[in-house]
Structure 1
Amino acid sequence: MLELNQILKANEINFAILAALPAFFLSLLLLVLVRAWVIQDKGAEGRGRVARRKRRLLVVEVEKRLVQFQTCMDEGK
């Protein structure tokens, strides 16, 4: 009878662990997603050729937006 109680207690512990595993993995996945969202690719950081090209493209995009804004302001007057 004592062995049966030990087996039942061991099974109870196993079921408790199995019940907690989905919540653990879900929280781990959530942590990974939040970390990836916070630490996003900064784009044009660095010193290499690719970073320089990205910075140039960003400057071109800003210039286009400024010209578009100025055109809208001129048409509005």
Structure 2
Amino acid sequence: MVEILMGRAMLELNQILRANEINFSILAALPALFLSLVVLMLLRASVKQDTRVEGRGKIARVQRRLLIVEVEKKIVQFQNCID
């Protein structure tokens, strides 16, 4: 009689575990999912910083070119004054 009850209990427990197998799989995958999200956020933040720095570099390059143009204009004016 005890063996029959134990067998039923084991069968019911087995059915419960099979029904929750998907839940266990999801719970096992959650830490990896959170870790990958954190890594993606860090990568995204670093890429944004790189583009900002690159933009500043482009602006600085344009400003240097404008300064060079102004210097060339002054040199031409100076040469015209000398002539």
Using structure 1 for the length normalisation, give the TM-score. Answer: 0.49
Q: Based on CA coordinates, which of the two structures has the bigger radius of gyration? A: 2
Bigger proportion of residues as helix: 2
